Amino acid sequence: MKIGLSLLVVALIALAQSPTQPRGGPTPLDPLPQRMSPVVQTCVPCHGTRGEGRPEAGYPRIAGQSALYLGRQLDSYAAGTRRDPTMEPIARGLPPDLRVEVSAYFAQTAAPAARGVSTLTAAWAERGRVLAVSGDPRRAVQACVNCHGPGGGGQPPGIPYLAGLDDGYIRATLMAWTDGRRRNDSGQQMAVIAKALSSDDVTAVARYYAAEPPPPPVPTNLVEAGRPRLLPAGMRRSIMLDTRSPDAAGSEGRAPMTGGQDGVGQTGESAETPGAGNTSGGSGDGRADTSASRARAGAASSSGDPVQGRALVASGAYGCTACHVVPGIRAPRGVVGPALGALAARPFIAGQLPNTFDVLVTFLRDPPSQVPATGMPDVGLSSQQARDIAAYLYSLPAAD
């Protein structure tokens, strides 16, 4: 209780000092539910009982954002990689376990979208839709859906939703990426995108997403949801080398393999792998080098657990499906990076690194250090996590 009261004092002091505090005092709040702990109550003056936010004061809707994402934002405020005069002292005053508690509470709440969204004229709506769905190749701006999913619903637990957020908050966030007040994207992709947008584009995309209906809350245990039950090691090896062997690609008439220029590699252009490249690789006649594929799959099976690797990729916690099509995993089809099918059959990683298991593990752990020009960020994988994911990637067939 002492921690909760002290944090409440910090929050109220910070709120009083905020330049966005509206005149006339705070708006009336709904009665606090019985399950709300004292530490969560410190968030209510700004974000509301159910995380509905206070757009008129600049405080965003946080209801239903994943617990993982909310926790990372609190960590970023505490570390100073996301700057805000109100949130920084509050986050620093919260021990890690209380940050988890706050994040879990608001991840489970639902609230209506913010009222008073700016008028969405036909011109604003169309420009916002184009940026959201297609991007702007002239400005090298990726489509928002590549990461934030169809309709701005997010790709939880790692990537937040945009739909239903106040347009003023979205504009302010894009400006924070532009001027460096927000630096908690390890790959700095958002900073690049934000800097490429004109002021009118920022307004258009913000108003577009503000008019979209917000998604429902996601499970707080989404990182663990769907984790496969571990099979005996011998059975796992049999499954991964037999029924999902990348060597089957040649006999099934799939597209020839290619060396990618971004991400981990690319496959040939096909209806099932949109956005993939078509530069021939592998053996001299365009077919996969099956002996090399077998060697890579064998090394992977003895050094990593493909079942655990699949669970890590499918969890969404590391954003793999935000940029890549991954055969066998249902998710919005990311096209920022190449499709990952039949990786074991390709001669190169990221178009230039030799495709060996240890090189792939090193690349997954810190892509920019291996290929400075890559757009793939360091997502914080441990050595074992990288080995498990590499083992899974080497098991993938050529098409989804």
Statement to judge: residues 48 and 185 lie in one domain: no
Cβ 333 vs Cβ 327: under 8 Å: no
In the listed set 83, 107, 131, which residue is the last one of a domain according to the structure?
107
Distance CA 94, CA 263 (A): 36
pLDDT in tens, 10-31: 444 443 333 333 333 334 444 4
Statement to judge: residues 240 and 388 lie in one domain: yes
Statement to judge: residues 362 and 237 lie in one domain: yes
pLDDT above 60 (res 377): yes
DSSP letters of 79-140? HTSB--TTHHHHHHHS-HHHHHHHHHHHHT---PPPS-PPP--HHHHHHHHHHHHT-BGGGT
pLDDT band at 321 (very low <50, low <70, confident <90, very high): confident
Pick the residue with more confidence: 351 or 360?
360
Pick the residue with more confidence: 36 or 138?
138
pLDDT above 80 (res 206): yes
Statement to judge: residues 255 and 377 lie in one domain: yes
pLDDT in tens, 83-114: 999 999 999 999 999 999 999 999 989 888 76
Reference 275, options 80, 81, 119, 137; nearest CA is 137
Which range among 13-22, 159-168, 198-207, 356-365 shows the weakest confidence by mean pLDDT?
13-22
Cβ-Cβ contacts under 8 Å for 223 (sequence gap 6 or more): 68, 157, 315, 316, 317
* Rounded alpha-carbon distances, angstroms, from residue 259 to 173, 283, 357, 387: 36, 12, 16, 21
Question: Which residue segment(s) compose the domain that 69 sits in?
Answer: 2-107
Please give the tally of structural domains in the chain: 3
Q: What's the confidence (pLDDT) of residue 376?
A: 81
pLDDT in tens, 245-284: 333 333 332 232 233 333 343 333 333 333 333 333 333 3
Statement to judge: residues 323 and 265 lie in one domain: yes
Statement to judge: residues 288 and 384 lie in one domain: yes
Statement to judge: residues 204 and 334 lie in one domain: no
Statement to judge: residues 18 and 158 lie in one domain: no
pLDDT above 70 (res 324): yes
Statement to judge: residues 195 and 250 lie in one domain: no
Q: What's the confidence (pLDDT) of residue 228?
A: 33
Statement to judge: residues 383 and 237 lie in one domain: yes
The CATH code of the domain that includes 334 is 1.10.760.10
Statement to judge: residues 52 and 143 lie in one domain: no
In the listed set 74, 107, 140, which residue is the last one of a domain according to the structure?
107
In a domain, 115, yes or no: no
Mean pLDDT computed over 198-225 = 82
Which range among 140-154, 194-208, 279-293, 356-370 shows the weakest confidence by mean pLDDT?
279-293
The pTM is what?
0.60
In a domain, 101, yes or no: yes
Mean pLDDT computed over 219-244 = 38
